[in-house]
Amino acid sequence: MVYRARASCPTCNLADEVWLDKGTVCFTPLTTCDRCGTMYDPLDFISQFIELRTNATISSKFVQSQRRT
């Protein structure tokens, strides 16, 4: 199954979207930060998982559903 996630740069904390498939990052094993140029493995710095069809994070979706009940 394919997942979307946000990985944050370990140096400047800039978030970048990555795609995960079977526990590995799709398309590129290393990411270069657009702000500071740091190269890092996004799998080590995942900060949030994102739903595939919306831009809501999994945690924010859970909080919204809890408020409705």
- Per-residue pLDDT tens over the stretch 7-64: 999 999 999 999 998 888 988 889 999 999 999 999 999 988 887 777 666 654 444 4
Quote the pLDDT of residue 46: 92
56: part of which helix (H) or strand (E)?
A: none
Residue 29 is classified by DSSP as S
Residue count (the chain) = 69
Quote the pLDDT of residue 2: 83
Between 1 and 6, where is the model more confident?
A: 6
Q: How many domains does the chain have?
A: 1
Contact (Cβ atoms closer than 8 angstroms) between residue 16 and residue 42: yes
Give the range of the structural domain holding residue 30, as residue numbers without chain letter. 2-68
CA distance 38 to 45: 13
Binned at pLDDT 50, 70 and 90, residue 3 comes out as confident
